[in-house]
Amino acid sequence: MRHIVNLSGGKDSTALAVYLTKKYPNVKYEYVFCDTGCELPETYEYLNKIEKVLGIYIVRLNSDKPFEFYLEKMNGYLPSVFARWCTREMKIKPWERYVGDDNVYSYIAIRADEDRKGYISSKKNVHTVYPFIEDGICIGDVEKILLESEIGYPTYYEWRSRSGCYFCMFQRRIEWVNLYKYHPELFKKALVFEKDNFTWIKGMSLLDLLYRGKEIEERYYKKHSKKDAKKEIEDEDDYNDKCCLICSL
């Protein structure tokens, strides 16, 4: 039986890696990250930090082909909430290839205080395990685990709520505005992928978003004070269910 701990570069899956490593030091875990090649630089830095602090090796899986290849194959049709070909091609397929026909326990970092299922493989040899649910681990425990381990939170939490591709369509408008601030080169790359009516945000191109950046920020900060905005980004789970766990653990 293989034991696969799925990492996303986010807080929960990192806390799970720390938790399992400490709780079952004799289990030979495989720590796996599905790399689309379009992750945030902060995510790669965070993964390096996890490896260093925990003294583990993280297997980085990829699809062999870049995002541009699949985009062309899809005739320029950008991935969307309703057509998640990005996840299928760049995360699920590489992960299932890696697992093969071996019997595996796949450890998923859903917390006890969350109401979602996440990605469940249809392969019969994959047995999904939810240690945080089984052990009643909630958000406060995750924070404690990360702080005590000295890994802490990924730095992108300053401006974005989750890991994943820089162009992820699950990010909110304020996070797109923040992407432009923190990584203008990545924002521009995402903008170049937009063509005709294919836009990352329904009914709004990234160019339009840039023009409306100030207004988006004002509206956001009017609703949430600047002080609380970071916490708000972290807490807001309103679209968690739509984002599969293989992307956002």
Restricting to residues 21-40, name those near ligand SF4 by CB under 6 A: 36
CA 206 distance to own-chain centroid: 21
Q: Taking the complex as a whole, how short is the minimal distance between the CB of residue 85 and ligand SF4, in angstroms? A: 8
How many whole angstroms separate alpha carbon 249 and alpha carbon 246? 6
Please identify, using beta-carbon distances, which residue of 157 and 170 lies nearer to ligand SF4. Answer: 170
Residue of 17, 78, 90, 249 that binds ligand SF4 (CB under 6 A)? 90
Q: Taking the complex as a whole, how short is the minimal distance between the CB of residue 42 and ligand SF4, in angstroms? A: 14
Burial of 128 (0-12, 13-18, 19+ CB in 10 A): middle
Instruction: Answer yes or no: are the C-beta atoms of 161 and 233 closer than 8 Å.
Output: yes
How many whole angstroms separate alpha carbon 164 and alpha carbon 174? 16
Q: Taking the complex as a whole, how short is the minimal distance between the CB of residue 88 and ligand SF4, in angstroms? A: 9
Please identify, using beta-carbon distances, which residue of 17 and 247 lies nearer to ligand SF4. Answer: 247
Q: Which stretch binds ligand SF4 (CB under 6 A): 24-32, 54-62, 124-132, 164-172?
A: 164-172
Q: Does 137 bind ligand SF4 (CB under 6 A)?
A: no
How many whole angstroms separate alpha carbon 111 and alpha carbon 90? 25
Please identify, using beta-carbon distances, which residue of 20 and 89 lies nearer to ligand SF4. Answer: 89
How many whole angstroms separate alpha carbon 101 and alpha carbon 183? 40
Which pairing describes strands 2-7 and 29-34: parallel, antiparallel, or unpaired? parallel
Residue of 33, 164, 176, 206 that binds ligand SF4 (CB under 6 A)? 164
- Name the β-bridge partners of 195: 198
Q: Does 87 bind ligand SF4 (CB under 6 A)?
A: yes
How many whole angstroms separate alpha carbon 178 and alpha carbon 58? 28
Binding stretches for ligand SF4 (CB under 6 A) = 36, 79, 84, 86-87, 90-91, 164-165, 168, 170, 247
